[in-house]
Amino acid sequence: MVVSVVDDGLKLTEREQLVLIEIGKDKIDSASSFVSYISEEYGLSKSSAWYVLNRLKDKGIVDFASKDELGKPLALTAYGLGSYRRLKAADKGFLGRFESIAYNYG
């Protein structure tokens, strides 16, 4: 598992980086729809995708509806948007690398 420091000591695994980039570049309204998308696109199990999404929420990078907040869209927080921009600026073909190894994580 490769871990990268994005900023201010924030450490993200490859999966977390992938999810951050995908949320930043795609507009998918709900966390459920995003989990389905990321599972189909990269071969991750839905449980793994939910795990990563919840970890990013715990780190303050993304926000999405809980059972009590129906209708709240999946979105990057202000902190997450800054992290996305720094990760995107440093990207050297990350998505291509991830696509080639994604099925080894499944």
Gap between the Cα atoms of 66 and 6, Å rounded: 26
Q: Give the count of domains, the chain.
A: 1
Q: What is the pLDDT of residue 103?
A: 46
Whole-prediction pTM value?
0.79
CATH number of the domain encompassing residue 10: 1.10.10.10
Report yes or no: 17 and 83 within 8 Å, Cβ to Cβ.
no
4 pairs with which residues across the strands?
A: 12
Range of the domain at 65: 3-105
Task: Evaluate if residue 101 carries a pLDDT over 60.
Answer: no
Write down the pLDDT at residue 25: 83
Q: Are the CB atoms for 24 and 16 separated by under 8 Å?
A: no
